[in-house]
Structure 1
Amino acid sequence: MKKQKIVITGGPGTGKSSIIRQLEKHGHECLHEISRQVTLEAQKQGIAQLFLEKPVLFSEKLLEGRKIQHREADMIPTSTIFIDRGIPDVLAYMDYFKTEYSTYFTDACTEYTYDKIFFLPPWEEIYQSDNERYESFKEASLISKYLFETYKTYGYNPIEVPKTSIIERTQFILNQIE
């Protein structure tokens, strides 16, 4: 049986982590978002907001981490792996912030691919900011558009997840891959 790498993506505060936790609660293998980890490592080195201070370095570290996750998914002995954000997310954010980047980033999007993309649309009623999520809802909505378009650019047809409860959203995703 072919291994499926399933990406859960969407703008900030759309419920990705909640769905990942729900999937795990029901025994599914999941790989978590790593951007907070990259940010925390930079803070330990004295850089308060690596993404804002050195966006290309942040994106390089994020891309490397996501490539590692992609390879790690191949090693997990199960047929389906859910991943909180994929490699194209890195480019979408750089495009949103008008950051120039080399083919190193675009090449990764064609070399490391996924089987299905589930897209969580902006949802103001559940949006919350925190120490690492500093975007306004309006900014988060615009980032969502960049994410959706970036995945389409790389040949994916993102499946939009309806705005329902976490349990219903999770079941929607599971129904789409069975």
Structure 2
Amino acid sequence: MSDRFIVLSGCSGGGKSTLLEELRRRGHAVVEEPGRRIVQEELASGGEALPWLDLTAFARRAIAMALADREAMRDHPGLVFFDRGLVDAASALEASGGEPVLAGPAAGHRYNRGVFLTPPWPDIYAGDAERRHGLDAALEEYDRLEKLYPTLGYETVILPKVSVVERADFVLDHL
């Protein structure tokens, strides 16, 4: 199962969601970022599990959602592309001062060994109502994830700063 599960991770605002949409357009199964979905739900309901209000609660919800996403796609026969995933959520929880889960729950839920990282790309970075942090915070997150994935046995592949069509071709050719 895990070999079919491909993670797109890296810098916030680096083009992951746009790449995911291109892969969807090409007929691949995709799972949208847990963080974005949580922020949308919390803003709509007046909740507080938001990264700028309660990062620990937000990260715990992201872990639960990432696990549910994996389970929902368990029987899907082809490749499944995840905009972030369990490792990103667990890393956020640990960074927020929460309990370490990368060696525990996350260890038993592997993805494909190759993880594609979107590098920092200031030219396309933009904040919005759901992404309230600045580029500096995005860079810190990227540095943390770039170091973390290899320690967990993943091979990181840095995506080139090219058009979304070329990025999708790069990912599919690499696989």
Alignment partners' CA distance in 2, 1:142 and 1:13: 13
Q: Determine if the alignment matches structure 1 residue 9 to structure 2 residue 26.
A: no
**1:54 alignment counterpart:** 54
- Name the SS of the counterpart of 1:109 in structure 2: helix
Distance in 1 separating the partners of 2:58 and 2:99: 14
The amino acid across from 1:28 in the alignment is H
Q: Conserved in 1, the CA contact under 8 Å of 2:34 and 2:85?
A: no
Report the equivalent of 2:166: 168
Match of 1:133 among 131, 141, 144: 131
Residue aligned with 1:100, SS:
coil
CA distance in 2: counterparts of 1:46 and 1:74, whole angstroms: 32
- Among 98, 109, 114, which residue is 1:112 paired with? 109
Quick one: structure 1 residues 106 and 57, their matched pair in 2 at CA, closer, same or farther if it must change by over 3 Å?
farther
Three-state SS of the structure 1 residue aligned to 2:73 is helix
Partner of 2:88: 89
Tell me, which stretches of 5 or more residues in structure 2 are unaligned? none
Amino acid at match of 1:107: G
Instruction: Say which SS state the counterpart of residue 27 (structure 1) adopts.
Output: coil
**Aligned residues of 1:93 and 1:146 also touching (Cα < 8 A):** no
For residues 129 and 111 of structure 2, the distance between their equivalents in structure 1, rounded to whole angstroms, comes to: 30
How has the CA–CA distance of structure 1 residues 42 and 105 changed in structure 2, closer, same or farther, with 3 Å as cutoff?
A: farther
Contact 1:93 1:147 in 2 (8 A): no
Q: Which secondary structure state, in structure 2, belongs to the residue aligned with residue 74 of structure 1?
A: coil
1:63–1:105 contact (8 Å) kept in structure 2 = no
**Contact 1:109–1:154 (CA<8 Å) still a contact in 2?**
no
Q: Deviations over 1:6-41 (max 9, x none)?
A: 001112100000000000111111111121221222
Q: Assess if the C-alpha contact under 8 Å between 1:9 and 1:117 holds in 2.
A: yes
* Distance in 2 between residues matched to 1:128 and 1:74, nearest whole Å: 33
Equivalent position amino acid for 2:13 in 1: G
Check if 1:65 corresponds to 2:65: yes
2:93 touches 2:100 (CA, 8 Å); kept in 1?
no
Query: More deviation in 41-50 or 126-135?
Result: 41-50
In structure 2, the CA distance between the partners of 1:58 and 1:105, relative to structure 1 (3 Å rule), is farther
Q: Output the amino acid matched with 1:17.
A: S
Amino acid at match of 1:121: P
Q: Which amino acid aligns with 1:109?
A: A
Q: Decide whether aligned partners of structure 1 residues 139 and 50 sit closer, same or farther in structure 2, where only a CA change above 3 A counts.
A: closer
Percent of pairs with identical residues: 26
**Equivalent pair of 2:14/2:125 in contact (CA under 8 Å):** yes
Q: TM-score, normalised by structure 2?
A: 0.90
How much is the aligned-residue C-alpha RMSD, in angstroms? 2.0
Segments of structure 1 that go 5 or more residues without pairing to the other structure are none
